[in-house]
């Protein structure tokens, strides 16, 4: 009987030790996907990448056969500004803002003198479907009021670690409208 009580005591001591050790450990909390995506993009701050239009719904679009450049130009703890240049047109800037509410994506369109265009600052908040490498941005109410046809827009940004590409994609009414692909393997030096 004495041997059995020693075994029971030993098992109890082990169980209590495991419980105490488990309670003392700090839990490692994974960053939410919005924050991780923002950080992955921010890690490339200062770099420019060339891309191309893979698909555009409107054949005579200025994006068709254009030279595309994205410049991850300005980065802070809560904002990334990415000028999106189409041939010589530098009027577009993608703006990602990280806050307690999530990740907001906007399109900032400016005239050559720097004043805002009439159709500017449209976009939306990232949905919960994203990952550290891809985020989806359904159109917000402001966008639907500014551009009624864009009410069903969903923008997607993807950092593909397997292909080393950045993809900017737009769909409307669940149909593709535009897709641009940027090569991340060779940053531009110009």
Q: What is the CATH number of the domain that holds 50?
A: 2.40.128.20
Q: Please tell me the number of Cα atoms within 13 Å of 87 on its side-chain side.
A: 7
Q: What is the pLDDT of residues 91-138, one digit of tens each?
A: 999 999 999 999 999 999 999 999 999 999 999 999 999 999 999 999
Identify whether 51 is part of a domain: yes
In this structure, what token pair is assigned to residue 46?
Answer: 């200062």
| Structural domain boundaries enclosing 141 | 33-183
Distance CA 26, CA 123 (A): 38
Distance CA 140, CA 124 (A): 5
Identify whether 9 is part of a domain: no
Identify whether 1 is part of a domain: no
pTM > 0.85 = no
* pLDDT given at position 23: 45
- The stretch 142-154 carries a mean pLDDT of 98
Distance CA 13, CA 7 (A): 10
Mark out the alpha helices in 47-167 (DSSP H runs).
Answer: 141-146
């Amino acid at each position: 009987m004495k041997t059995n009580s020693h075994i029971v005591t030993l098992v109890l001591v082990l169980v209590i030790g495991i419980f105490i050790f488990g309670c003392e450990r700090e839990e490692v909390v994974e960053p939410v996907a919005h924050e991780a995506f923002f950080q992955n993009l921010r890690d490339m701050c200062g770099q420019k990448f060339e891309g191309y239009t893979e698909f555009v719904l409107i054949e005579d679009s200025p994006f068709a056969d254009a030279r595309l450049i994205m410049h991850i130009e300005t980065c802070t703890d809560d904002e990334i500004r990415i000028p999106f240049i189409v041939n010589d047109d530098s009027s577009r800037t993608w703006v990602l803002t990280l806050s307690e509410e999530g990740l907001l994506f906007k399109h900032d369109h400016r005239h050559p003198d720097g004043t805002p265009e009439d159709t500017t600052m449209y976009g939306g908040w990232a949905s919960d479907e994203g990952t550290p490498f891809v985020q989806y941005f359904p159109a917000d109410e402001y966008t639907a009021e500014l551009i009624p046809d864009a009410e069903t827009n969903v923008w997607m940004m993807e950092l593909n670690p397997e292909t080393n590409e950045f993809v900017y994609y737009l769909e409307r009414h669940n149909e593709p409208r535009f897709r641009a692909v940027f090569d991340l393997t060779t940053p531009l030096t110009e």
